Structure 1
Amino acid sequence: MTADQATTHGKVPVEREERDACLGADGSVAHVTRVLRMISGRWKLPILFRLFAEPSMRSSQFLRDIPDISQKMLTQQLRALENDGIVARRDFGEQPPRVEYELTDSGRSLMPVLMSVREFSRRHPGGR
């Protein structure tokens, strides 16, 4: 085994074998880090899993389903997920206001990844 074969970045499936493929500005590490930032925080994963279970939800449903989240925090987290293109906000333009949230195509494509992470956790119970 050569030194290149023994390194972690050599094992990551990418189109080219150069070090930058993993560690460069546009490498694997940068992309995974960006996604982890999008979903990090106490409330984003509960919001995403609720939207995966229910295709469309109103703020009041989130507040009932996610204990201890405040309206302010829910709004902040939904806006962040919307800015990242994971959640879409639909305003019906009605009075009283009616707004619903749903996963975008990108959000739906993220869910199998999160389900795989869940299964990884179930199979590897060690650590915290």
Structure 2
Amino acid sequence: MNEAITHLKVPIEREENNVCLGPDGSVAHVTRVLRMISGRWKLPILFRLFADPSMRTSQLLRDIPGISQKMLTQHLRELENDGLVLKTDFQKQPPHVEYRLTDAGHGLLPVLMSVREFSRRHGDISGADLTP
């Protein structure tokens, strides 16, 4: 067997290749999650929301240095559309809007902690810069 065929090394029962590579396969699911969290500011937003149950936009702006209002709004909207963040509008004047993680967003925490541990153990492999 060809050693370069990595999809056969995924720890799942041996079935057809579409289990891993098909439209509902492992690769498609992992790619979907990576797309959901890709973007310079999504991980800082998610980690801030992991730390606090709900936050207003102004709190997120204060706590995430370098992010602009436009990028915060854009990434929050994308995270909301992907079902990771819930926006609550209190319909008040002045506007009062809060963001919190959904159950799916909370479910992502163990995955991100595993990725963090992988980086801590194997971070010297790539020599990549850890700053965003």
Is TM more than 0.5 here?
A: yes
Structure 1 residues 111-122: aligned runs within 5 Å: 111-122=109-120
Distance 1:72 1:45 in 2: 16
> 8 Å contact 1:24–1:30 — kept in the other structure?
yes
3-state SS of the aligned residue for 2:55? Answer: coil
Indicate the RMSD between aligned Cα atoms, in angstroms.
1.7
**Identity over aligned pairs, percent:** 75
Structure 1 residues 48-87: aligned runs within 5 Å: 48-87=46-85
Report the alpha carbon displacement of residue 33 of structure 1 after superposing the two structures with TM. 0.5
TM-score by length of 1: 0.91
> 8 Å contact 1:57–1:102 — kept in the other structure?
yes
Report the alpha carbon displacement of residue 70 of structure 1 after superposing the two structures with TM. 0.6
Matched AA of 1:106: A
TM-score by length of 2: 0.89
Distance 2:26 2:115 in 1: 17
Q: Which 5+ residue runs of structure 1 have no aligned equivalent? A: none
Structure 1 residues 1-128: aligned runs within 5 Å: 3=1, 7-15=5-13, 17-125=15-123, 126-127=125-126, 128=128
Report the alpha carbon displacement of residue 30 of structure 1 after superposing the two structures with TM. 0.8
Report the alpha carbon displacement of residue 17 of structure 1 after superposing the two structures with TM. 2.0
Q: Which 5+ residue runs of structure 2 have no aligned equivalent? A: none
3-state SS of the aligned residue for 2:120? Answer: helix
> 8 Å contact 1:82–1:89 — kept in the other structure?
yes
Report the alpha carbon displacement of residue 4 of structure 1 after superposing the two structures with TM. 8.2
Report how many aligned residue pairs link the two structures. 126
Distance 1:61 1:16 in 2: 49
